[in-house]
Structure 1
Amino acid sequence: MESSTQPGREHSASKCPRQQAGEPGPAPGRTPRSIWGSWGLQSLATVMCPKNPGTDCCGRSQRQVLPEPASSRSKHTLPSRLARVNGWSKPLNKYQAVAWATVLTLAFGMFGIFIPMLPSVWRSVAYGVTAGVLGLHAVCHLITTTVDPAEESVRQQHIYKEERPTFDRSQQERVIVDLYCALCGVTVSRSAKHCRACNKCIAGFDHHCRWLNTCIGSRNYWWFFATMCSAAAWFVVMGAIQLYVLIQYQMNPTILRMDPHYENTASDSTWLLFLPYFHLKVKTTVVGVIWLLILILIMSSLVMVGKLLVFHMYLLSKRMSTYDYLTRDRKQHSSGVTSRKKTGCFRIQISSE
């Protein structure tokens, strides 16, 4: 499944108003928040100039955290890091390696072991269909990973060669204010969100996909959806081939040994792998173990991709993004605490009846 990196939350401009034209300048010795607003750094001003003494940027008591010396507070700066261009940018994700290893393992097992067992007619069909669906999945996968999902204003700034501040919730409560991102330093659209993992604003932000190691937004969402569809279709085709091999082995194993290279094999318990180029002889037990492992990998991958595909089909029917869905659930969770406390006794009464 996919895991999402939550972007910085927006807040209304009324909390951090910008300095309007014609207003008097700041008094000597003071730095009002209107100047921070004119620079688009409202969130940083909230951190450095809290309203109430003794509280942090979120209004929490500083007694809950270790106090910092006054000198370190004045010199503290947010960490800097390069923005990531796409899914090939470092740091790479271990889930991305797992995804590619799964694809290569399944392709190696199907094309090298089980499809050569099929009769000649079905073998050609299986090669064509499996290779076609796999090729479509590879193309969609590569495009989704390679596309830069950032906002157009962010891509025009050529920010990828310069280190920039990184969003840190302990130092910043909000990043985008009045459609202006304080970290990217550009104006963004209403659907944009700042991704903490990619360190940039994403156009039409949906979620950050660990399996592709990139953000999914309006620029690559449909390629992402096609990746899920092609992956699910590929798993279904491979599952059907595995099922056919099992049925034929139970009914008539000789159908699976029609390749001409089996003519020199005397024992029925000996199987040839990686036909027609190699003739690796193994016993039936080895083939059975490989078949079971491949089937488990196919079914587990199909379940994960299928659940994700159904979820995004639901989101499309509701015209929602993954981010909208998660934030809606979070709001319902925070507003439903009292109601759940009231319905707790009702549930107990039902269970006791």
Structure 2
Amino acid sequence: MTARSNGSSDASPDLAVVARELRAAKDGPPSSRDLTKEWYEKWVRKNGFSKPLSRLQLLSWMTFAVDVALGAVISLPILLSDGQWYGWVISLLWTGSAVLTLVSTHRATACDPTDDSSAPSLGATRFCHFCRRNVSTDAKHCRQCNKCIGDFDHHCEWLNNCIGRDNYFPFACATASAFVFTASLVAFSSVEIGRFVSEGSEVTVERWRQVYTGVDDRAVLGISVTILLINLPLTLCVLQLLSFHAFLACKGLTTYEYIMYKLNGEQAERSNPPQGRRVWSRFKALPSVMDWFVFAGSSKRKGRPQEASGSKRPSGSLKGSGGVALVDGGSRCSSRSSGTRRVEPIEVVIGTPKRSVS
């Protein structure tokens, strides 16, 4: 008995040292092979600016900076030099949307959407086995942020933050303003290319030389095509996301609820129960091309820490069905219930269309 107690006392300092080394080496969650249960339980992402930053987040910052430079240095001077009404309209739309995109994106990223179970109006009736506290009934536990999100919608990798009750409105504003921002640059480049073709290269070059002396037809056409190639795909992608959330708003659903309903509807349709056909019929109207998600199975999460009891994570279920609600591969955030139809655990991430569900 003495030897065992000595062995356990010797092991505890080693584990504490390892945890301290991991925290000192990284500000974000470690890789699965280095992940310790104690470390993961202590780390919580505060907001989208918490490390590690997402690659898509950094990409969005760089793209926005490039577009701002192109618009301020090239688009606005050329449009305003003409004195045409459409030039003023495009310039005003671009300037306003750029400011709104910056402000709303910062608010959505800097917001901490953690569920506030201390508020009595929210009615904390569910227990999260990861947070180890009661949370509101609409909360879900995001394993990328390691916290429960009130009225969870999805985890956005473009913002590196979860979208929930507290930051859904700035997220929607950021999406709408980003569409106007990129569409304005598409409109500018389309107008310049159209005038280059219809009026001839000499007339277009002369207009540009009123602002930038020394440009030639190749520079004018090359810059216009570059702006179009950068922003046309972005405009279509943001329009897709904006249309999808408009669809969800009309249906009164969150992104998480939509995915869970869709997966359960597909499974139920295969077995042909009447209830499954009714549920699935609500979502067939939305084309599959509008799905802008990553569906990741729980096999990718084998390196993540298990719950305190050491039990295997259950499969997912519909939100509001009384069963276990799962987010990002299997976070438990409610009481148990039998007879609930299960689906594979999923990860709800917006903006990374690497895989799709047929």
What's the TM-score once normalised by structure 2's chain length?
0.58
Q: Which residue of 1 aligns with 2:248?
A: 315
Is the contact between residue 152 and residue 162 of structure 2 (CA under 8 Å) also seen in structure 1? yes
Are residues 131 and 256 of structure 1, via their aligned partners in 2, closer, same or farther at CA, if it must alter by over 3 Å?
Answer: farther
Taking the aligned partners of 1:102 and 1:222, their CA distance within structure 2 comes to 23
Q: 1:334 to 1:79 in 2, by over 3 A?
A: farther
Pair 1:287–1:258, CA change in 2 (3 A): closer
- Give the whole-Å Cα distance in 2 for the aligned partners of 1:299 and 1:210: 21
Question: Equivalent residues in 2 for 1:1-353 (5 A)?
Answer: 77=37, 80=40, 81-118=42-79, 119-122=81-84, 126-153=90-117, 179-252=126-199, 253-254=202-203, 257-258=206-207, 262=210, 275=211, 281-339=214-272
Partner of 1:39: none
The Cα of 1:282 is off from its aligned counterpart by 4.7
Residue ranges of structure 2 left out of the alignment (5+ in a row): 1-35, 274-358
Aligned-pair CA distance for 1:285: 2.3
Q: What value does the CA root-mean-square deviation take over the aligned residues?
A: 2.6
* DSSP-derived class of the 1:249 partner: helix
CA contact (8 A) 2:49 2:109 kept: yes
User: What is the aligned length?
Assistant: 228
SS state of the match for residue 292, structure 1? helix
Distance 1:99 1:306 in 2: 16
For structure 1, which runs of at least 5 residues remain unmatched after alignment?
1-75, 156-176, 263-274, 341-353
Deviation at residue 287 of structure 1 after TM alignment: 3.4
State the partner residue of 2:21: none
The whole-number CA distance in structure 2 between the counterparts of 1:208 and 1:288 is 40
Question: How far apart are the structure 1 equivalents of 2:93 and 2:205?
Answer: 19
For the residue of structure 2 that corresponds to 1:84, the secondary structure is coil
Q: Which stretch shows the higher mean deviation, 331-340 or 98-107? A: 331-340
Instruction: Render the CA deviation track for 1:173-213: whole Å, top value 9, x for unaligned.
Output: xxxx9601122122111110000000000010000000110
SS in 2 for 1:208: strand
Query: 2:45, 2:118 → 1: CA distance?
Result: 12
Q: What amino acid maps onto 1:139 in structure 2?
A: V
In 2: Cα distance, 1:226 partner to 1:178 partner: 31
Structure with the larger RCO, 1 or 2 (CA within 8 Å, 6+ apart) = 1
Q: Separation in 2 of the partners of 1:298 and 1:125?
A: 18
Bigger Rg over Cα: 1
